[in-house]
Structure 1
Amino acid sequence: MREIVLINSKENLKVKTLIVNKIELLPIKKAILEQHIEIQKLHKKVDALIFTSKYACKSLVKNMQEDSMLEVFREIPAFVIGENTAQKLIEHRFNVEYVGIDSHGSGFSSEIIPLLKNRKPLYFRAKKIVSGLDTKLLEAKIKLKQVIAYENKTNIIDKSYKPAPKSILIFTAPSHYLAFKQNFGWDGSYSAVAIGMTTFGVFDSDVEGFISPMQSIDSCIEFAKDLALKLP
C-alpha cells in the first residue's frame, strides 16, 4: 500500500508528518497603528473582523495576552472562513457573527461581500496569500484594512527525508505545497490530497491531485487512506 505523508507546519500523531514550514506569529499593535487606527477609538474605524486561518486567531490571542489594550477586539463581530477557525475564536470568547458555508477563499469572498457593504472590516492575514480575498473585497468597494498577523517560513530539509515514490501526500495549505517543492521538487509518481480548492489551485498541471470531501486534517487523512487502497 502507498505511504501517506502529511505535509504540514506541525506534527500530527495520526500519520507520518513532514514539517516543511514554521509559523511565525507577528506583532500586531504596531501594524494596526500603521493603518492609522487608534486602539482607543477602534470602533470608529473597524466594525468587523475577517479571519481565514486559525494562525491569525492564534497571533491575535498571543498579542492580546501581551497587551491588554487589544482585548477590545473580542467585542467586534468576526467573519470566519470555516468551522475550525470559528471554534478557535469562540474558545477565546470572540464574537463570531458569520461562518462561511464555502470554506474556499473565492467562495467565501462571494458570501461576505454583500454582508460587508457599508462595513469597515479588518482582515487578519498571512504575509503571503493566494486566495485573492483582499483583491476581491477591494474590487467590490469594501473599505478593507489589513494586518499581517503571521508568516509562513520554509524549513530547509535534508534530502534524505524525501517521501518514497508513489507516496500520497496531504497538503493543508498552499504554502506547504510550495515549500515541499522548494525542498524536494516533484516526483511524478506522487499523488496529492488538498484540504480545499485554494490549496488544490496551486498544484501544477502534472500533479495527480484530489480534494478532500471535508476541510479538516482528519478528513484528509481518512480520504488518503481510502485512496491508498484504491490506487495501483
Structure 2
Amino acid sequence: MPIYLLNKAPFEGVKNLILNEIIFFNIDINLSLYDALICTSKNALIALQENKIPLNLDIEIYTIGESTACFAKKLGFKNIKIAKKSYGSEFFKEFKEELKNKKCLYLRAKIIASTLNSDLKNNGIDLDEVIVYENIFKPSNEKLIHPSIFIFTSALSVENFFKNYSLHEDDIAISIGKSTAKKLSNFKNLFVCEKQSIENCVTLAKELSLKTNF
C-alpha cells in the first residue's frame, strides 16, 4: 500500500503530503534574563534563528521530542533535557518541581494542543510565554490513491487533512501519539505508534504495507 506522511521529513518509499506552512513572527527576546527555555517543537528554536536572537548557550533547555533536542544540540546548547514521554501533560508531571525555582520562557506556537502553559503557571512556576510561530493550512490539489496508509504527526495535521481530503474505509491511519489519535477516534483502522517519533511511525507503516490480509 502507498504511504503518505503529513510532514516534510523525507523517507524512502514514503510520499510527503504537505498541508501546512510555518509562519515565523518578528520577536525580540533577551535569553540572558531566563534560567530555563521550554521548547516543544524545533520551530521554536528556528524562530530564534530567523530573528537573529543572540543565543545563551548555557541556558537550560527543556524539550519534548528527540528532534527538538537534537536541533538544540546542533545550535550549540549545552544543557538539554528531554521529556521521557512526548506529551505536554507528561512533560508537566516530570519537570513541574524542577522548574519551580527558575525563571522560565516558553517559546510556542499560536495554537497549541496541550494545556502545558496554564498547568505550569497554575503550579506556581514563573513563566513567560512568547508566541513565535504559527502553523497555517495550505491546500493541495494532489490526487490521493486509495487505499493507502496515512501518517499523522500532530493533531493539526489531522485537521488540515480533513479540510482537503477524507479517509476511505479501507485506508489505514497511523497516529504519532494519543492526542493526535483523539482526532481520529471515529476511524476504525487506526494505529497509535508506541514511541512518539516520525521514524517509528514510518517503520510501522512499512510493516503494515507488507501485510496483504489486513
Please give the TM-score of this superposition, normalised by the length of structure 1: 0.83
Following the alignment from structure 1 to structure 2, what is the Cα–Cα distance between the partners of residues 189 and 136?
39
The CA deviation string for residues 169-207 of structure 1, in whole angstroms up to 9 with x for no partner, is: 001122111111111133333221112223223324235
State whether structure 2 residue 124 is matched by structure 1 residue 138. no
Structure 2 residue identity aligned to 1:76: I
Following the alignment from structure 2 to structure 1, what is the Cα–Cα distance between the partners of residues 103 and 188?
40
Following the alignment from structure 2 to structure 1, what is the Cα–Cα distance between the partners of residues 120 and 182?
20
Residues 80, 96 of structure 1: 8 Å contact kept = no
Structure 1 residue identity aligned to 2:3: I
State whether structure 2 residue 207 is matched by structure 1 residue 219. no
State whether structure 2 residue 13 is matched by structure 1 residue 25. no
Q: Which runs of 5+ in 1 are unaligned?
A: 33-38, 65-69
Residues 65, 197 of structure 2: 8 Å contact kept = no
Residues 105, 198 of structure 1: 8 Å contact kept = no
Following the alignment from structure 1 to structure 2, what is the Cα–Cα distance between the partners of residues 130 and 199?
9
Structure 1 match to 2:174: 193
Structure 2 match to 1:4: 3
Query: By how many angstroms is 1:61 displaced?
Result: 2.0
Q: Looking at secondary structure, tell me which structure has more helix per residue.
A: 1
Residues 109, 136 of structure 1: 8 Å contact kept = yes
Following the alignment from structure 1 to structure 2, what is the Cα–Cα distance between the partners of residues 174 and 201?
8
Q: Could you say what the CA RMSD is over the residues aligned between the two structures, in angstroms?
A: 2.0
Residues 92, 116 of structure 2: 8 Å contact kept = yes
State whether structure 2 residue 168 is matched by structure 1 residue 170. no
Structure 1 match to 2:81: 98
The CA deviation string for residues 49-84 of structure 1, in whole angstroms up to 9 with x for no partner, is: 0011011111112222xxxxx314333211111222
The number of equivalent residue pairs is 212
Q: Identity of paired residues, percent?
A: 36
State whether structure 2 residue 75 is matched by structure 1 residue 109. no
Structure 2 match to 1:36: none
Following the alignment from structure 1 to structure 2, what is the Cα–Cα distance between the partners of residues 95 and 113?
21
Following the alignment from structure 1 to structure 2, what is the Cα–Cα distance between the partners of residues 219 and 61?
28
Structure 2 match to 1:52: 40
Following the alignment from structure 1 to structure 2, what is the Cα–Cα distance between the partners of residues 78 and 88?
11
Structure 2 match to 1:67: none
Structure 2 residue identity aligned to 1:177: V
Following the alignment from structure 2 to structure 1, what is the Cα–Cα distance between the partners of residues 195 and 51?
31
Residues 7, 171 of structure 1: 8 Å contact kept = yes
Following the alignment from structure 1 to structure 2, what is the Cα–Cα distance between the partners of residues 206 and 215?
20
Following the alignment from structure 1 to structure 2, what is the Cα–Cα distance between the partners of residues 115 and 21?
35
Q: Secondary structure at the match of 2:10?
A: coil
Q: Which moved more, 1:208-217 or 1:169-178?
A: 208-217
Please give the TM-score of this superposition, normalised by the length of structure 2: 0.89
